[in-house]
Amino acid sequence: MTRREPARALLVDLDGVLRRWDPAVTAAVEQRYGVAPGTVLETLFEWPRLVAATTGQISDAEWHEQTARALADRLGGDAVTARSLIEEWQAYRGAIDEQALAFVREVRAAGRPVALTTNATDRLGADLAALGVAEEFDAVVNSFELGIRKPAREFYLAASAAVGVPPKECLVVDDEDRVIRGARVAGLPAYRWSGPADLPYLRAALDLGGPSRDGLGQP
């Protein structure tokens, strides 16, 4: 496989890379309300509403209100329980992976810009502030503001422009295979995140020291 030059910028995902979600939290909420396991996320992530909420068609508040109504239908019309359940779940904002955050700081300290690239809603800014990471990036690229979700080519062209580095020199790190494939089609090197064990490899890809850079995938 062709050996690549080091990347000059990092485009890093939020959920699944920098932020972790504890499934036990959602399970506990569902248990308290007597709802079948998996019901909350299954209802929240119904595709049409999810796309609308993450491309600027509806607000985060509207997304959760619509989800509460859909959940009420599944609960036999119990709107009060559905709304309370969604509100309680929404209060949970996940937790930052400290090793991944340390890597972001290391990349920036080495002079490589870092953009947070995420399919999110208009709540993203509040979440980043609550998690204490609002100032940790050189740019934040949110699908809600662009009106385009990953893995669209236009999303990654906008992200590379946000850090002022050509796409082929921006390293995408994400936990979803389809996003990795989309980034490569758009001409960006990309690596699928599986956990902090990947960090030595990614340090090498950004010329921060570590094992071989081969294997980032061809556009």
Q: What is the pLDDT of residues 114-138, one digit of tens each?
A: 999 999 999 999 999 999 999 999 9
Q: How far apart are CA 171 and CA 11, in angstroms?
A: 6
Task: Tell me the mean pLDDT in the region 30-42.
Answer: 91
Q: Grade residue 2 by pLDDT with cuts at 50, 70 and 90.
A: very low
Condensed to tens digits (0 to 9), the pLDDT of residues 58-110 reads: 999 999 999 999 999 988 888 988 999 999 998 999 999 999 999 999 999 99
Cβ-based neighbours of 84, under 8 Å, separated by 6 or more: 33
Q: How far apart are CA 140 and CA 123, in angstroms?
A: 13
Cβ-based neighbours of 30, under 8 Å, separated by 6 or more: 36, 37, 38, 39, 40, 85
pLDDT value at 152 more than 60: yes
Q: Grade residue 4 by pLDDT with cuts at 50, 70 and 90.
A: low
Q: Give the pTM.
A: 0.91
Mean pLDDT of the chain: 92
Largest separation between any pair of C-alpha atoms in the chain: 59
Assess whether the previous peptide bond of 200 is cis (omega < 30° from 0).
Answer: no
Q: Which has the closest alpha carbon to 121: 183, 63, 48? A: 63
